[in-house]
C-alpha cells in the first residue's frame, strides 16, 4: 500500500509529489501520457511536429504517435490546448507566473471588492496564500523576465497609453510590468548570440531567447534537465521528486509511471461526515492494455480541469450538490493584433514576457508567435470573417473595423511580416458559472470509458465576464494605438481552452463547491485535488499555474498534517530551489 | 426504351437533392464521364442550361452503369481534394487556378503551394472519432430535411432526369448507401457538407471544378461559411432533423461546429507551418517552408535556431521585484 497516489504529472501533480517525497512519504505518480525523458533526442523546434493537437509530440494523447489523440467532446464552438505526458500542459506553457488578484480572496476589503466574482472566493485569505506563493516562487524559481525587442516595444506602448509600472509581486493597482516568469534569466552567451556553436551549456545558461516556448523548452543544449530554462514541471518539480532521497535527508524518491491511464478511483462506502473513502486507483497501461490497481491512504487527483470530472463520474463517486465538473472558467480569451511599419519583435524571444494587469477586469499580455500558430490565432473567431459576415457579433471599438477572423488577402497581408506584428492576449476575469461544465459524453467512448464532454458557451457568459473581456480588448487596442500600430484587429475568439480553472472548485460553501477549504473532497474522505480544477475561481484573470502550485503546496501540507501526523513546513523551513547544486548533482547521478 | 429500362429502388426527392447538391453525382461523373455521361452531362456552351446536370446528349442503348463502392470512394476522395484546394485558396490565396477562379488571388504562391489541403484532410479525419453509423444517420437526416424543404435547384425537376439518368442516380444512391456503411472519412463528410451548403447558397453552381464550392467566388465562399457557422444554420437543422438516436442528435451540432472551426483555422495553420517540408528522421525542415518565406520568419533557417541575440536588458534595470 502506498501512502499517496497522485493521478497526473502536469502543472499540479508533481508539486504534491515533490513536497511529500521531501517529507519521506511513499508516493506513486501515474501519468497517462509520455515520459518525455530525452527532449533533445525526441523533440524539435517545429510547431506542427511539436504542437499539432492531433499528431504532435505535445498533444493530449498517448506516447505512441501511431495511435490517435484522446478525444474530448465539445458541445459548443471552441478548441482545446491541453497536453498529456510528464509536464502536462506546462510543456506548452509560457512560464508566466503572476500571483492572483488579492480581490478574489476571502479577506479582501479593498474599495473595489464589488468588482470581483464575490460569490466564489478563495475560502481563506491572501496573506495565508502569500506564504505559499513565496515558497513556490523560490522553488521553481520565478524570476523577472528579460527584455527583448517585443518587450521594449510593449513597455513603450504601455507608457505612451498612460499606464504606470507595477514593481512588486502583488497586484496592487492597474499597470504594466515585465512578467514574473518561471524562466531562468539568460546567462553567459544566452540572449547574446544566435550562433549555435556558442550556445551549449555551460557557456549559455538560462533562456537563450530561442522563440520556441510553445514547442517545449529543451534549452540550453546539454544542460542537466533541472537547468533547462523554462520551469515546466518536467524540468522543475518532477526531477526533484524523482531524486528527493538524494538532496533531502529523510526524503524518498517517488515512483513515476508514465503511459498509465487511471480509469477508476476505488472507494468504500462509509458512515460519517463523508459519504465514501478513497482506497486506491485502477489504471490501464496505455501500451499493453493491462489493468493494474494499487491501494493508498490518500489519493490526489491532478488530471486537470477536463479529466478530473470525467474520472470522478466514471468512478461513480458521489456528487451530492451537483457541482462536480461545474463552474469551469477559461479566462474568456481574446486576441488583439496590431500591425506596425517597423520591427516590434513579433516572433522573437520567449513566448510572453510582458503584461498589464487591471484589477477587477483581468490582464493582457504581449505574446510572440511562430507563423503557423499566429495564422491559426488570426483565423479563430466567433464573429465570422471580417468584411463579410459577423455571426451576429462583430463588435466595433478601439480596434479597426468589426471584430472577426482575418481571411484571404487580409490574412496574407497581415502575415506578410511576422516581426511587425504585436499580438496581445486577453485574460478575462471570468465568473464561475454553473452552466459552464465538464461531464461525460453519451456518444464517444475510448479505452478509458466515456470521454469528457465540455460545454462553455461564449454567448451565454455573465454580463460581468463579457464586460471585462470588452474592457480588456479596448485597453489592448489603446496600447497598440499608442505604440503607433497602422492597423489593429480584434478577433473575438471562440473559446480556446488553455487556461482552465475551477471545474472541481474549492469553496467556503458546501452548496457550490466540490472541495472543502483543504482541497479534500467534501463527499470522499482521503481524496484530494491539486491542480487547476481545485481553484475556486478564475483568479481575477492572472495565469493560473503559480496559484495552482502554491495551493498544491498547501494541500500537500494538509495531507501530511491530517493523514500522516506531520507538521507544516511552509513558513518554518527554507525551500530548496529546483536549480540548487544539490538537485543538479542528484539529477545527474540518477541519469535523468 | 421504357420496357428495357432497368429497375431500381426509387429515389426520394431529398436523397436526390443530397446526391446532386453535395457534389456526389458531379464527382462520380467527373471521375469517369464515359460511364456517368451515358445520359447525364453537364451542359456545355453559354447561357441557360450551361453547367446544369441533366439529360444532355441522350444516347440510346447506353449500357446501365453500375457504380462500385470503390469507384465511388475514389470519386469522393477526389471531390474532397477539390473542395479542400478551394478551401485553402479561400483562406490563403495564391497564384493557383482555385485562387484565380474565386476572383481573389495574389501574384505569388499561397496555401495550396504548401499543400495545406493535405494537412486539412489528414487533420479532419483525425479530429473526431465519428462512431460507425453516425454518418449514415446524419446524411439520412439531411435527405429527409431536403425532402420537406428542398433547395432551389432547377434540375431537381423530374423532367430533367432522363430514364437512364434516373437509373444512374438510383444506382449511385445505392452505391452511396453501401459506401456509407463502410469506412467513411470525416474529410469526405465535411466536403459533402460544404458542397451542399455551396449549392444551397448559390443554386446550381457552374464552373470548371467538380466541387460546387470550388466554383464559387470568394464572397460566395464566405456566404457558405456564414451558413455553416450560424447558430441557426439550416444545415444544423437539417443534420439534426431526423437522427433517430437522441444522443447522436444532441452531439451533432457540436461535432459540426468543431469541424467547421477546424477547417477555417487550419487553412491558416496548415499554410504557414512546416508540415510540407518536415523530415521526421532529422526532425528538421529540408528547406525553408513557404509559410516562413511568406511571413519573413526565420530568414536563416534551416536549421531552426536555438537562440537569438535579442536580449536588451531588464526594464528599468530591475532584475527582481
Ligand atoms: C499555450 C499555453 C500557454 C500557457 N501559458 C501559461 C503561462 O504562461 N502561465 C500559466 O500559469 N499557465 C499557462 N498555461 C496553462 C497551464 O499550462 C496550466 O495552467 C497547467 O498546465 C494546468 O495544470 P493542471 O495540473 O491543472 O493540468 P495539466 O497540466 O493539463 O496536467 C494534467 C495531467 O494529468 C494527466 N492525466 C489526466 N487524466 C489522467 C488520468 N486519468 N490518469 C493519468 N493521468 C492523467 C494528463 O495527461 C496531464 O499530464 C498555458 C497553457 C497553454 C496551452
Ligand atoms: S525562449 Fe527561452 S524559455 Fe522559451 S523555449 Fe527558448 S530557451 Fe526555453
We report the CATH number of the domain holding residue A256 as 3.50.50.60
Confidence of residue A105 (pLDDT cuts 50, 70, 90): very high
Q: What is the pLDDT of residue B163?
A: 57
* Cα–Cα distance measured from residue A469 to residue A338, given in angstroms and rounded to the nearest whole number: 18
Residue nearest to atom 3 of ligand 2 (CA): A230
Q: Are A236 and A578 in contact (CB under 8 A)?
A: yes
Min CA distance, A566 vs chain B (Å)? 33
**Alpha-carbon distance values, B125 to A167, B80, B114, B183, B287 (Å):** 49, 12, 19, 11, 27
Say if A256 falls within a structural domain: yes
Query: Please, are residues B209 and B87 in contact by the beta-carbon 8 Å criterion?
Result: no
| Dist. CA B146–CA B16, nearest whole Å | 9
Q: Are A427 and A362 in contact (CB under 8 A)?
A: yes
CA distance A62 to A33: 5
Q: Do B305 and A389 touch (CB under 8 A)?
A: no
What ranges do the domains of chain B cover? 13-42+63-272
Task: Return the ligand number nearest the Cα of A349.
Answer: 2
Q: How far is A194 from chain B (nearest CA, A)?
A: 4
Q: Rounded to the nearest whole angstrom, what is the distance from the C-alpha of residue B78 to the centroid of ligand 1?
A: 40
Radius of gyration of chain A (CA): 22
- pLDDT for residue A421: 97
The residue assigned the cell 446526391 is B19
Report d(CA B35, CA B65) in Å as an integer: 6
Please list, residue by residue across A487-505, b when 16 or more beta carbons sit within 10 angstroms of its beta carbon and e when fewer do: ebbbbbbbbbbbbbbbbbb
A22 within domain boundaries? yes
pLDDT tens column, A55-101? 999 999 999 999 999 999 999 999 999 999 999 999 999 999 999 99
The pLDDT value recorded for residue B303 is: 94
Q: Considering only CA atoms, which of A374, A32, A58 is closest in space to residue A216?
A: A58
Of A148, A155, A212, Cβ closest to residue B311: A148
Placement of cell 469506412 in the chain: B183
Classify residue A327 as left (phi > 0), alpha (psi -120 to 50) or beta.
left
Contact B318 A411 (CB under 8 A): no
Q: What is the mean pLDDT of chain A?
A: 97
Task: Report the alpha-carbon distance of residue B192 to residue B154 in Å, rounded.
Answer: 20
Classify residue A561: in a domain, yes or no: yes
Residue A447 contacts residue A68 (beta carbons within 8 Å): no
Q: What is the pairing mode between strands A143-144 and A180-181?
A: antiparallel
Q: Residue B303: is the preceding peptide bond cis (ω within 30°)?
A: yes
> Which letter does DSSP use for residue A404 in this model?
-
Residue A27 pLDDT exceeds 50: yes
Q: What are the C-alpha distances in Å from A314 to residues A335, A414, B276?
A: 36, 46, 40
Alpha helices in B57-162 (DSSP H): 69-91, 97-102, 116-127, 134-148
CB pairs < 8 Å spanning A and B: 259
Q: In chain B, what residues touch A385 (CB-CB under 8 Å)?
A: 222, 225-226
The pLDDT tens digits for A325-375 are 999 999 999 999 999 999 999 999 999 999 999 999 999 999 999 999 999
Whether residues B307 and A199 touch (CB distance < 8 A) is answered with yes
Residue A140 is classified by DSSP as T
pLDDT at residue A144 tops 90: yes
B311 and chain A: CB distance < 8 Å anywhere?
yes
| Chain B: residue whose CA lies nearest to A206 | B307
Tell me the per-residue pLDDT of B214-228, one tens digit each, with 9 for 90 and over. Answer: 999 999 999 999 999
Q: Give the pLDDT score at B131.
A: 80
- The percentage of residues in chain A with a pLDDT greater than 70, rounded to a whole number, is 100
**Which ligand ends up closest to the CA of A232?**
1
For the Cβ of A145 lying below 6 angstroms from any atom of ligand 2, the answer is no
Tell whether B203 is within 8 A of chain A (Cβ): no
A228 CA distance to ligand 2 middle (Å)? 9
Tell me if A409 and B104 make a contact (CB, 8 A cut-off). Answer: yes
Mean pLDDT of B8-21: 83
- Interface subset of B 94-113, CB within 8 angstroms of A: 104, 106, 110
Q: Nearest CA of chain A to the CA of B215: how many Å?
A: 16
pLDDT of residue B61: 47
Q: Going by C-beta distance under 8 Å and a sequence separation of 6 or more, which residues neighbour residue A110?
A: A102, A103
A43 close to A219: Cβ distance less than 8 angstroms: no
Q: Do A144 and B320 touch (CB under 8 A)?
A: yes
A527-529/A255-257 β-pairing: unpaired
CB spacing of B303 vs A196 below 8 angstroms: yes
Q: Could you tell me the distance, in angstroms and rounded to a whole number, from the CA of residue A178 to the centre of ligand 2? A: 16
CA angle B11, B17, B22 (to 5 degrees): 120
Chain-chain contact of A69 with B126 (C-beta, under 8 angstroms) = yes
Q: Which residue has the cell 536549421?
A: B303
pLDDT for A472 beyond 70: yes
HSE-up of residue A250 (Cα within 13 Å, Cβ side):
5
| Number of helices followed by number of strands (H, E) in chain A | 13, 23
Give residue ranges with CB within 6 A of ligand 1. A 7-13, 30-33, 81-82, 84-85, 88-90, 92-96, 214, 261-262, 302-304, 307, 311, 498-499, 531-532, 543-546, 548
Tally of residues, chain A: 592
Q: What's the length of chain B?
A: 321
Structural domain boundaries enclosing A547:
2-50+86-143+215-328+498-589
All 3 cell numbers of residue A524? 470522499
Nearest to A62 by CA among A40, A82, A84: A84
pLDDT tens for residues B148-188?
A: 888 877 554 333 445 566 777 788 888 888 888 888 899 99
- Determine the distance in angstroms separating the CA of B254 from the nearest CA of chain A, rounded to an integer: 4
Give the residue-averaged pLDDT of A278-289: 98
pLDDT at A536 over 70: yes
Q: Outline where A361-458 has alpha helix (H).
A: 371-378, 409-414
Grid cell for residue A551: 495551493
B41 neighbors B57 (Cβ within 8 angstroms): yes
Distances (CA, A) of B274 to A373, A421, B168, B190: 11, 20, 44, 24
Residue where the block lists cell 475568439: A493
CA dist., res. B32 & res. B22, Å (int): 18
B321 with A180: Cβ contact below 8 A: yes
Amino acid B165: pLDDT: 67
Domain count, chain A: 1
Partners of residue A488 on adjacent β-strands: A338
DSSP-assigned states of every residue in A169-187: SS--SSEEEE-EESBPPPE
Q: For A508-523, what is the mean pLDDT? A: 97
Statement: residue B62 has pLDDT above 80: no
CA–CA dist A3, A302 (Å, integer)? 16
> Closest ligand 2 atom, CA of A349?
1
Q: Are strands A291-301 and A527-529 parallel, antiparallel or unpaired?
A: parallel
The pLDDT value recorded for residue B136 is: 81
Report residue A275: phi and psi, to 5°. Answer: -80, -30
Cell of A179: 512578467
All cell numbers assigned to B35: 460511364
* Nearest ligand 1 atom to alpha carbon A305: 26
Mean pLDDT of all residues in B105-131: 93
Which is more confident, B296 or B17?
A: B296
Give the Cα separation of A374 and A419 in Å (integer): 11
- Please say if the pLDDT value at position A293 is more than 50: yes
What average pLDDT score do residues B86-90 get? Answer: 97
In the numeric block, which cell numbers belong to residue A151?
518587450
Q: What is the DSSP letter of A71?
A: P
- The protein residue whose alpha carbon is closest to atom 7 in ligand 2 is A207
Mutate to test the interface with B, among A408, A411, A420, A439 (most CBs of B within 10 A): A408
Q: Indicate the SS3 state at residue A337.
A: strand
- DSSP helix/strand/coil, A332: coil
Sign of CA dihedral A124, A128, A132, A134: positive
Whether B311 and A78 lie within 8 Å, measured CB to CB = no
For residues A442-468, average pLDDT: 97
C-beta atoms surrounding B232 within 10 Å = 7
A520: in domain: yes
Question: What average pLDDT does this structure show over A474-498?
Answer: 97
How close does chain B come to A57, measured CA to CA in Å?
A: 11
According to the model, what pLDDT value does residue B32 have?
61
Cα dihedral A29, A32, A38, A41, rounded to 10, equals 180
Verify whether the Cβ–Cβ distance A384 to B225 is below 8 Å: yes
Task: Give the separation between CA A540 and CA A121, rounded to whole angstroms.
Answer: 10
**Residue A153 located in a structural domain:** no
Which of A41, A44, A67, A454 is the best residue to mutate to test the B interface, defined by the most B CB atoms within 10 Å of its own CB?
Answer: A44
Report the gap between the CA of B320 and the closest CA in chain A (Å): 5
Chain B positions in Cβ-Cβ contact with residue A413 (cut-off 8 Å): none
CB distance A60 to A31 below 8 Å: no
Q: How far is the CA of B305 from the centre of ligand 1 (A)?
A: 27
User: pLDDT above 90 covers what percent of chain A?
Assistant: 98
Contacts from A510-513 at CB under 8 Å and sequence distance 24+?
A510/A321, A511/A321, A512/A119, A512/A120, A512/A321, A512/A323, A512/A327, A512/A434, A513/A123, A513/A321, A513/A323
A371 and B272 within 8 Å at the Cβ level: the answer is yes
Q: Is the pLDDT confidence value at A294 over 70?
A: yes
How many angstroms separate the CA of residue B19 from the nearest CA in chain A? 27
Distance CA B143, CA B270 (A): 33
Q: What is the pLDDT of residues B27-40, one digit of tens each?
A: 887 766 544 444 44
- In-domain check, residue A351: no
Q: What is the mean pLDDT of residues A303-312?
A: 98
B residues 266..295 contacting A (CB < 8 A): 266-275, 278, 280, 283-285, 291-292, 294-295
- Point out the residue among B230, B251, B273 whose CB comes nearest to the CB of A372: B273
Smallest CA-to-CA distance from A120 within A463, A508, A456, A429 is with A508
State the distance from the centre of ligand 1 to the C-alpha of A8, rounded, in angstroms: 9
Residue B14, classed as helix, strand or coil, is helix
The answer on pLDDT for B83 being more than 60 is yes
Count CB atoms within 10 A of the CB of residue A162.
9
Q: What is the complex's ipTM, to 2 decimals?
A: 0.95
Collect all residues with Cβ–Cβ distance below 8 Å to B183 and sequence separation of at least 6.
none
Gap between the Cα atoms of A579 and A139, Å rounded: 8
Instruction: Output the CA torsion sign for A277, A530, A174, A81.
Output: negative
Comparing CB atoms, the residue among A147, A212, A376 nearest residue B312 is: A147
**Bridge partners of A525?**
A277
Q: Where are the beta strands (DSSP E) in A110-205?
A: 143-144, 175-178, 180-181, 187-188, 204-205
Q: Is the pLDDT of residue B47 over 70?
A: no
Residue A506's beta-bridge partner residues?
A515
Amino acid at each position: 500500500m502506498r501512502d499517496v497516489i497522485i493521478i497526473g504529472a502536469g502543472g499540479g501533480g508533481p508539486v504534491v509529489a515533490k513536497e511529500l517525497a521531501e517529507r519521506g512519504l511513499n508516493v506513486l505518480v501515474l501519468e497517462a501520457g509520455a515520459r518525455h525523458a530525452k527532449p533533445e533526442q525526441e523533440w524539435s523546434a517545429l510547431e506542427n511536429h511539436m504542437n499539432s493537437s492531433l499528431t504532435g509530440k505535445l498533444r493530449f494523447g498517448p506516447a505512441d504517435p501511431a495511435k490517435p489523440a484522446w478525444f474530448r467532446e465539445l458541445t459548443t464552438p471552441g478548441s482545446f490546448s491541453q497536453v498529456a505526458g510528464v509536464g502536462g500542459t506546462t510543456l506548452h506553457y509560457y512560464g508566466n507566473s503572476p500571483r492572483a488578484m488579492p480581490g478574489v480572496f476571502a479577506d479582501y476589503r479593498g474599495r473595489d471588492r464589488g468588482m470581483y466574482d464575490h460569490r466564489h472566493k478563495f475560502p481563506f485569505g491572501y496573506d495565508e496564500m502569500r506564504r505559499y506563493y513565496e515558497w513556490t516562487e523560490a522553488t521553481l524559481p520565478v524570476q523577472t523576465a528579460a527584455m527583448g525587442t517585443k518587450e521594449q516595444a510593449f513597455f513603450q506602448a504601455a507608457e505612451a497609453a498612460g499606464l504606470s509600472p507595477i514593481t512588486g509581486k502583488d497586484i496592487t493597482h492597474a499597470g504594466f510590468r515585465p512578467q514574473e516568469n518561471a524562466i531562468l534569466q539568460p546567462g553567459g552567451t544566452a540572449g547574446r548570440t544566435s550562433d549555435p556553436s556558442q550556445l551549449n551549456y555551460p557557456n549559455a545558461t538560462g533562456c537563450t531567447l530561442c522563440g520556441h516556448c510553445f514547442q517545449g523548452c529543451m534549452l540550453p543544449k546539454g544542460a542537466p534537465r533541472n537547468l533547462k530554462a523554462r520551469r515546466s514541471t518536467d524540468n522543475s518539480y518532477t526531477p526533484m521528486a524523482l531524486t528527493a532521497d538524494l538532496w533531502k535527508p529523510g526524503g524518498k524518491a517517488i515512483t513515476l509511471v508514465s503511459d498509465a491511464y487511471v480509469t477508476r478511483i476505488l472507494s468504500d462506502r462509509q458512515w460519517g461526515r463523508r459519504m465514501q473513502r478513497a482506497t486506491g486507483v485502477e489504471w490501464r497501461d496505455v501500451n499493453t492494455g493491462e489493468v493494474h490497481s494499487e491501494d493508498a491512504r490518500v489519493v490526489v487527483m491532478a488530471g486537470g480541469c477536463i479529466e478530473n470530472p470525467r474520472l470522478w463520474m466514471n468512478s461513480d463517486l458521489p456528487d451530492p450538490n451537483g457541482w462536480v465538473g461545474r463552474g469551469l472558467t477559461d479566462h474568456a480569451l481574446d486576441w488583439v493584433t496590431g500591425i506596425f511599419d517597423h520591427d516590434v519583435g513579433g516572433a522573437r524571444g520567449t513566448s510572453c514576457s510582458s503584461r498589464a494587469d487591471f484589477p477587477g477586469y483581468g490582464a493582457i499580455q504581449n505574446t510572440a508567435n511562430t507563423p503557423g500558430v499566429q495564422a491559426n490565432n488570426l483565423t479563430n473567431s466567433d464573429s465570422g470573417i471580417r468584411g463579410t459576415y459577423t455571426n451576429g457579433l462583430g463588435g466595433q471599438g478601439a480596434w479597426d473595423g468589426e471584430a472577426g477572423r482575418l481571411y484571404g488577402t487580409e490574412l496574407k497581408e497581415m502575415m506578410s511580416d511576422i516581426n511587425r506584428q504585436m499580438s496581445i492576449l486577453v485574460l478575462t476575469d471570468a465568473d464561475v458559472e454553473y452552466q459552464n461544465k465538464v461531464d461525460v459524453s453519451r456518444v464517444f467512448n475510448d479505452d478509458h470509458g466515456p470521454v469528457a464532454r465540455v460545454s462553455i458557451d461564449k454567448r451565454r457568459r455573465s454580463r460581468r465576464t463579457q464586460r471585462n473581456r470588452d474592457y480588456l480588448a479596448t485597453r489592448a487596442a489603446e496600447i497598440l494605438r499608442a505604440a503607433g500600430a497602422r492597423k489593429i484587429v480584434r478577433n473575438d475568439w471562440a473559446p480556446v481552452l488553455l487556461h482552465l480553472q475551477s471545474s472541481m472548485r474549492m469553496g467556503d460553501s458546501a452548496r457550490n463547491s466540490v472541495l472543502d477549504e483543504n482541497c479534500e473532497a467534501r463527499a470522499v474522505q482521503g481524496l484530494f485535488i491539486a491542480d487547476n480544477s481545485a481553484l475556486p475561481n478564475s483568479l481575477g484573470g492572472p495565469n493560473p499555474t503559480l496559484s495552482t502550485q502554491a495551493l498544491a503546496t498547501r494541500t500537500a501540507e494538509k495531507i501530511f498534517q491530517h493523514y500522516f501526523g506531520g507538521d507544516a513546513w511552509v513558513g518554518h523551513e527554507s525551500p530548496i530551489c529546483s536549480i540548487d547544486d544539490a538537485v543538479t548533482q542528484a539529477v545527474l547521478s540518477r541519469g535523468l | 426504351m421504357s420496357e428495357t429500362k432497368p429497375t431500381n429502388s426509387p429515389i426520394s426527392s431529398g436523397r436526390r437533392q443530397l446526391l446532386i447538391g453535395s457534389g456526389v453525382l458531379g464527382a462520380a461523373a467527373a471521375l469517369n464521364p464515359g460511364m456517368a455521361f451515358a445520359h447525364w452531362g453537364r451542359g456545355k456552351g453559354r447561357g441557360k442550361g450551361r453547367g446544369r446536370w441533366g439529360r444532355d446528349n441522350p444516347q440510346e442503348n447506353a449500357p446501365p452503369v453500375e457504380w462500385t463502392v470503390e469507384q465511388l470512394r475514389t470519386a469522393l476522395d477526389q471531390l474532397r481534394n477539390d473542395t479542400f484546394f478551394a478551401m485553402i485558396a479561400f483562406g490563403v490565396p495564391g497564384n493557383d487556378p482555385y485562387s484565380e477562379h474565386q476572383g481573389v488571388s495574389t501574384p505569388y504562391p499561397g496555401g495550396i503551394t504548401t499543400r495545406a489541403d493535405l494537412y486539412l484532410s489528414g487533420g479532419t479525419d483525425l479530429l473526431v472519432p465519428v462512431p460507425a453509423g453516425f454518418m449514415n444517420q446524419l446524411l439520412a437526416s439531411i435527405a429527409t430535411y431536403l425532402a420537406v424543404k428542398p433547395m432551389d435547384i432547377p434540375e431537381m425537376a423530374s423532367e430533367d432526369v432522363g430514364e437512364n439518368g434516373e437509373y444512374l442516380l438510383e444506382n449511385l444512391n445505392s452505391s452511396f448507401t453501401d459506401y456509407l456503411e463502410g469506412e467513411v472519412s470525416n474529410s469526405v463528410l465535411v466536403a459533402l457538407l460544404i458542397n451542399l451548403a455551396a449549392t444551397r447558397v448559390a443554386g446550381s453552381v457552374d464552373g470548371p471544378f467538380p466541387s460546387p464550392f470550388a466554383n464559387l467566388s470568394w464572397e460566395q465562399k464566405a456566404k457558405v461559411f456564414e451558413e455553416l457557422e450560424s447558430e441557426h444554420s439550416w444545415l444544423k437543422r437539417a443534420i439534426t432533423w431526423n437522427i433517430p438516436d437522441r444522443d447522436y442528435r444532441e452531439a451533432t451540432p457540436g461535432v459540426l461546429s468543431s469541424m467547421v472551426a477546424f477547417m477555417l483555422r487550419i487553412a491558416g495553420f496548415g499554410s504557414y507551418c512546416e508540415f510540407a517540408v518536415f523530415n521526421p528522421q532529422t526532425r528538421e525542415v529540408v528547406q525553408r517552408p513557404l509559410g516562413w518565406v511568406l511571413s519573413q520568419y526565420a530568414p536563416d533557417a534551416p536549421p531552426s535556431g536555438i537562440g537569438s541575440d535579442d536580449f536588451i536588458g531588464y526594464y528599468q534595470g530591475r532584475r527582481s521585484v
